[in-house]
A and B are shown apart, each in its own frame.
Chain A
């Protein structure tokens, strides 16, 4: 039996799924509508590669899609995506205005209305060692956006400093890909910005380097990132942090995927300005992070007061452990399922 909560979630996902299909060429979207509805709820990615089978991906694995919409683990009889399918899809996604998405093509992705992201591969046109644009586009990866409101609630309890009023710990979220770190960052910024139980709403600034956290479409965040949140979209992290500190007087800065050179200085600068930071890094555990210079420097200088490690053992967003950054003591650990 469906619980109310699950029912709402599934309905929401169906809506999002429908939203994405509008941007796919009719030949393929007809197949996708015929898909087994039970499975549809889990789909995270739709993959189109020219001359190769159409595929969908959920967190459990990937499937080939047959012409009648049946999913299978074997690739014979699967629907083969044509170059034309991809070109027509791209034309729909760009609303017949590929010229307007030049900058996005260069970065390799387009953000659709609703916050869905489409990864793009093709042949790069290079000019003076810089990618000018992509042509002969042959691969699309359509990632269906997910907004899991409330997923940050549990974590947030561990991030509030009870000793001081309205104080949040500097936090690093450590997670392998597709375990929901961006989703959790987004929910944390929404909760902090709107206010959460005893916590007053704080001013949050998001530096959205890859347009993933807020997923702006024409400058407007497609996700609910909170009422006191300012977003600077598609901006390099270092300059983005600087701009926000200088002009928007934030309490907390949120940014994704640290680890590039220059990040250390930018984060130290943020902390010197008295601003708290919540950010994320790729990795399976804390010790793995130490192999990366820029992150190691941050860990050594004890910048972060809390580490949150995620996995997808019980679905994306499973909290593995939460560690105190000052003495590296475990505060929370996931209890293994007895079954």
Chain B
């Protein structure tokens, strides 16, 4: 009897934790999107008030944290310094390289790539407009991601508990 109780508690706890794990994955995407927005705001500030060059601004951003999202900025800088290529290509390659390490989806990726198309090759006004447009689009993505998270997070957690209890009931 004691073994049965202990076993069912373990199964229940395991399933619940698995549910929580799935739901936490969902909350990562909005966090990453917010971080991207933060980076873009920093970029805007660097070029607008400090008149820094692209590689200086991106270099500074890539020093702020060490994760996949920031890796995009870091790789753009190294792409630019290693080979002669336009900034748009350097950015696109960096996005494609890092996107799989993040929980961002295809939609986010295409926003990032279209941001790169104008990167560095227009005057300040053009750059600022491009940055603000991208930030606006990312904010919409955050909203959508949050809604999805709210809905699915609860579902995954509950599903974890339910599946756990179902297994326990069946086994008993």
Contacts and interface: CB of A to CB of B under 8 A. Distances in A.
Interface of A: 25-26, 88, 91-92, 94-100, 102, 105, 132-133
Contacts of B126: 99
B68 to A, nearest CB: 23
A133 B126 CA distance: 12
B51 interface: yes
Contacts, number: 52
A96 B54 contact: yes
Interface in B64-103: 80, 84, 86-87, 90
B127 interface: yes
A96 B80 contact: yes
Contact of B121 (A25, A98, A105, A132): A98
Contacts of A26: 84
A99 B87 contact: no
Contacts of A99: 47, 120, 122-124, 126-127
Chain B CB count within 10 A is highest, among A94, A97, A98, for A97
A96 B123 contact: no
A100 B47 contact: yes
A209 to B, nearest CB: 21
B51 A96 contact: no
B121 A91 contact: yes
B86 A91 contact: yes
User: What band does the interface of chain B fall in when counting residues whose beta carbon is under 8 Å from A?
Assistant: 10 to 19
Interface of B: 47, 51-55, 80, 84, 86-87, 90, 119-124, 126-127
Contacts of B121: 91, 96, 98
Contacts of B55: 95-97
Contact of B87 (A91, A102, A105, A133): A91
B63 to A, nearest CB: 18
Contacts of A92: 84
A96 B84 contact: no
Given A25-B84, A91-B87, A95-B55, A102 B120 contact: no
Contacts of A132: 123
B120 A96 contact: yes
Contacts of B87: 91, 96
Contact of A100 (B53, B80, B119): B53
B164 to A, nearest CB: 54
A98 B123 CA distance: 6
A93 to B, nearest CB: 11
Given A91-B121, A99-B47, A105-B123, 11 more contacts: A94-B120, A95-B54, A95-B80, A96-B120, A97-B53, A99-B123, A99-B124, A99-B127, A100-B53, A100-B54, A102-B123
Contacts of B123: 98-99, 102, 105, 132-133
Nearest to A22: B84
10 contacts: A88-B86, A91-B86, A95-B53, A96-B87, A96-B90, A97-B120, A98-B121, A99-B126, A100-B52, A132-B123
A91 B119 CA distance: 11
A322 B116 CA distance: 58
B51 A100 contact: yes
Contacts of B86: 88, 91, 96
A96 B52 CA distance: 11
Contact of B120 (A25, A88, A91, A105): A91
A99 B52 CA distance: 9
Contacts of B80: 95-96
Which 5 residue pairs across A and B have the least CB separation, nearest first? A96-B87, A96-B120, A97-B53, A97-B54, A99-B124
